[in-house]
Structure 1
Amino acid sequence: MTAGITARLQRIGTEGRYVVVPMDHGITLGAVTGLKDIESTIDAVTRGGADAVLTQKGIADRVHGNKNGAGYIAHLNGSTAIGPDENDKRRTGSVEAALRAGADAVSFHINVGSKYEREQIEQLGALTDEAAEYGLPVLAMTYARGPDTEGDDPEALGRAVRLGEELGADLIKTGYSGDRESFEHVCESTRCPVLIAGGSPDGDLQSLRDVRGAMDAGGAGVSMGRTIFQHDDPERMAHAVALVVHEDLDAAEALERAELDA
């Protein structure tokens, strides 16, 4: 790992742990709740304790000035929910464009097990080569998604995270398998830091329990979008997640400290 990658990883995390709030959903879903006034949302989640926020490059000018010193990640592929196939993520930017947008890292989504896997493998492999030339970290979002793949199956998730490492990623985001014991296999499948996605859990307490389980299994944090930015109080929810990730609180303690209802 180069000095540049190491330095930039420190800008998007804290001592090897990460609370990233992705807000690239506008390209997929439109200006949903939390994204219309994205400036206020970015201000709230970073005041709450998010280490970094993530958007498509076109939103960069709405990020800087509102992120309270947090890091910035530019996402470089996407698709829409109204298109023919949401799994068909297409490249939306270059490493150079991300750097011009002031990014500290770039991210790329790959659906392992989908019919688009081959093209996305090629694209991620090329992206990590390009990013390495500039000392820019790559967060690979490697999801287990396909006709014969269960998105929370630990074996499939283990293959997905290993694929990310094999292709040269520095950080890997994937789904949570549902419990600490099974997620240990996922974390043991790679030496890269593993972050969990937010998913669709049942309430704040369950969300925080999932984060706690992932951390106890060897995870390095979260890349959690709608669970945080669409919360009634994004600042407090970001704070609660940060308390679990960075201060090792359990879910109930974090909920109480953040002054959220169970």
Structure 2
Amino acid sequence: MNTATRARLDRIGTDDRYVVVPMDHGITIGATQGLKDIESTIDGITRGGADAVLTQRGIADRVHPHKNGAGYIVHLNGSTVIGPDENDKRMTGTVEDAIRAGADAVSMHLNVGSVHEREQIEDLAKLTSEAERYNIPVLAMAYARGPDIDPEADDYNQAVGHAVRLAEELGADVIKTGYTGDAASFQHVVESTSRPVVIAGGARGTDEETLDMVRGAMDGGAAGVSMGRSVFQHEDPEKIARAVASVVHDDASAEDALYEAGLAVEA
């Protein structure tokens, strides 16, 4: 990795650990809670300790004035829940577009095992080639999703490990994927690639569930999180961001992180 790419990676993380909050969901699910007044949400989560925020390029002007010095990642594909196939992610921009929007890094989503796998492999390969020309890091959101993949199966972590390895093979610098449920199974995923692996948050759960998941992932060797709805849809995005950052960056327990962030429920 060259100096320029390394410098930009440092803008979206801290000491090779990452708390990224993706908020590209306006394309996928619309202007939901936390995204209507995205300016206030970005201000809160970055004050809470998020290293970087992620959006589509069209709202970059709503991001930069409110991110308190945090990094910025531009997401470059998408789909909607009201369209014919949410898994059919299509490209929404180029690396040059992202640079013009002030991005420190770019990202894209691919579903390994889906009927759209071939096209998304091609898209990621083209994206990493273009990004390399500009020394821009690539965050690949590589999920094991498809008709033959069962998240409840005992060997689900093998499919997730395959997905993250595919992303590395295609040139990704940081890889996001789904958590496999416990630290022991997730260790295989982390060991499947030499690149840092961060976990997705998925649908929002309780604060305790969120922090337990982050703690488990870190114990399994993760480099952090790329967690959207669990953070930006929270009643207090700043506090939950602070709690997540405490686990990722300070190695706090879930219980201590909740307490320190002011989220612990008193007995």
TM-score band by shorter chain is: over 0.9
Report the alpha carbon displacement of residue 201 of structure 1 after superposing the two structures with TM.
5.8
In the alignment, the residues of structure 2 paired with residue 197 and residue 151 of structure 1 have an alpha-carbon distance, to the nearest angstrom, of 14
1:42 match: 42
Matches within 5 A, 1:164-203: 164-200=167-203, 202-203=205-206
In the alignment, the residues of structure 2 paired with residue 120 and residue 223 of structure 1 have an alpha-carbon distance, to the nearest angstrom, of 20
SS class of match (1:237): helix
In the alignment, the residues of structure 2 paired with residue 18 and residue 174 of structure 1 have an alpha-carbon distance, to the nearest angstrom, of 13
User: Do 1:143 and 1:151's aligned partners in 2 also have CA atoms closer than 8 Å?
Assistant: no
Give the AA of the match of 2:200: A
2:76 match: 76
Report the alpha carbon displacement of residue 237 of structure 1 after superposing the two structures with TM.
0.1
1:236 match: 239
SS class of match (2:88): coil
User: Do 1:151 and 1:175's aligned partners in 2 also have CA atoms closer than 8 Å?
Assistant: no
Q: CA RMSD in A?
A: 0.9
Aligned residues: percent identity? 69
Give the AA of the match of 2:173: D
In the alignment, the residues of structure 1 paired with residue 161 and residue 171 of structure 2 have an alpha-carbon distance, to the nearest angstrom, of 16
User: Do 1:154 and 1:182's aligned partners in 2 also have CA atoms closer than 8 Å?
Assistant: yes
Report the alpha carbon displacement of residue 216 of structure 1 after superposing the two structures with TM.
1.0
| TM-score after normalising by structure 1 | 0.99
In the alignment, the residues of structure 2 paired with residue 253 and residue 134 of structure 1 have an alpha-carbon distance, to the nearest angstrom, of 41
In the alignment, the residues of structure 2 paired with residue 199 and residue 28 of structure 1 have an alpha-carbon distance, to the nearest angstrom, of 13
Matches within 5 A, 1:1-262: 1-151=1-151, 153-200=156-203, 202-262=205-265
User: Do 2:173 and 2:196's aligned partners in 1 also have CA atoms closer than 8 Å?
Assistant: yes
In the alignment, the residues of structure 1 paired with residue 107 and residue 251 of structure 2 have an alpha-carbon distance, to the nearest angstrom, of 26
In the alignment, the residues of structure 2 paired with residue 101 and residue 151 of structure 1 have an alpha-carbon distance, to the nearest angstrom, of 36
User: Do 1:78 and 1:89's aligned partners in 2 also have CA atoms closer than 8 Å?
Assistant: yes
In the alignment, the residues of structure 1 paired with residue 49 and residue 150 of structure 2 have an alpha-carbon distance, to the nearest angstrom, of 32
Report the alpha carbon displacement of residue 151 of structure 1 after superposing the two structures with TM.
4.0
236-245 vs 203-212, which moves further: 203-212
User: Do 1:56 and 1:76's aligned partners in 2 also have CA atoms closer than 8 Å?
Assistant: yes
Aligned residues: 262
SS class of match (1:64): helix
In the alignment, the residues of structure 2 paired with residue 239 and residue 174 of structure 1 have an alpha-carbon distance, to the nearest angstrom, of 22
- In structure 2, list runs of 5 or more residues that go unmatched: none
| TM-score after normalising by structure 2 | 0.97
Cα offsets for 1:112-138 (capped at 9, x unmatched): 000000000001001000000000000
Report the alpha carbon displacement of residue 97 of structure 1 after superposing the two structures with TM.
0.3
User: Do 2:255 and 2:264's aligned partners in 1 also have CA atoms closer than 8 Å?
Assistant: no
User: Do 1:151 and 1:157's aligned partners in 2 also have CA atoms closer than 8 Å?
Assistant: no
In the alignment, the residues of structure 1 paired with residue 178 and residue 204 of structure 2 have an alpha-carbon distance, to the nearest angstrom, of 12
Give the AA of the match of 2:165: R
SS class of match (1:107): strand
Moved beyond 2 Å, runs of 4+: none
Cα offsets for 1:172-208 (capped at 9, x unmatched): 0000000000000000000000000002364111111
SS class of match (1:108): strand
User: Do 1:154 and 1:185's aligned partners in 2 also have CA atoms closer than 8 Å?
Assistant: yes
Cα offsets for 1:146-175 (capped at 9, x unmatched): 011124621110000000000000000000
